[in-house]
Amino acid sequence: MYRNALTAPADLDGWIAEGPCGVEHRDGGLVLSSTADETALVAAGRGDHAHFTLWCPEVFPADVEISWDFKPLNGEGLAMLFFAATGTGGRDLFDPSLATRSGHYPQYHSGDVSTLHVSYLRRKWPAERRFRTCNLRKSPGFRLVAQGADPLPGPEDADGHYRISVRKLGPEVRFAVDELELFTFHDPEPLGAGRIGFRQMSPLRAHYRDLEVKELS
């Protein structure tokens, strides 16, 4: 249904960045990193504004499988995927009546965005590095609805790319890395069609390639 190699600037035509999103195309894919001076933002009490979200312009149907290759390059941080994302009240994610977003996380988890979001590389804080999990949350409300072990290594041990996949069919959500299922979630109020977006927390730099979305039935 949708395939994007993410190898060239034209592959990001129409994509929308919110926050300090740095983009580089190399090694057959896309490198994302924050362009913010996080140290200065932390000193100013605005450290949480060093992070960003990059949205795909397509609106996908409710039942899809989303997969992509991912490799952490360097830096502690966090990687996340938003999916089935819309504005609250049935509005489009980019409806002008929604509050302005700038990459600051509360705007996504407790604002006027309706979405599921899976954080699959969590290395930002010491507690996340001590006990590594993948978390699925549902917004608005920042509700933790599923959790599983995180098998991904940090940048120092990453051996090539890892295939990340999210499968959403009816009320069932499945998350896997290299075909290893890490959690499932039965949603009593399943979300419908919506957009997908990559989110990163500084200072992580990561490589993405071969994004694919398949419609399920």
pLDDT tens digits, one per residue of 141-183? 999 999 999 999 999 999 999 999 999 999 999 999 999 999 9
Structural domain count of the chain:
1
Distance between CA atoms of 53 and 30, rounded to whole angstroms? 14
What integer is the mean pLDDT of 1-10? Answer: 97
CATH of the domain at 123: 2.60.120.200
pLDDT value at position 103? 96
For residue 59, the 8-state DSSP code is P
What integer is the mean pLDDT of 78-99? Answer: 98
pLDDT above 70: percentage of residues in the chain: 100
φ and ψ of 91, to 5 deg = -85, 155
pLDDT value at position 10? 98
For residue 47, what pLDDT band results from cuts at 50, 70 and 90?
Answer: confident
Kindly report the average pLDDT of the chain as a whole number: 96
The model carries a pTM of 0.96
Domain that holds residue 110: 2-215
Alpha-helix residue ranges (DSSP H) falling in the chain: 38-43, 106-109, 126-130
pLDDT value at position 106? 96
Distance between CA atoms of 103 and 187, rounded to whole angstroms? 26
What integer is the mean pLDDT of 19-25? Answer: 98
For residue 189, the 8-state DSSP code is S
Comparing 1-5, 45-49, 146-150, the range with the smallest average pLDDT is 45-49
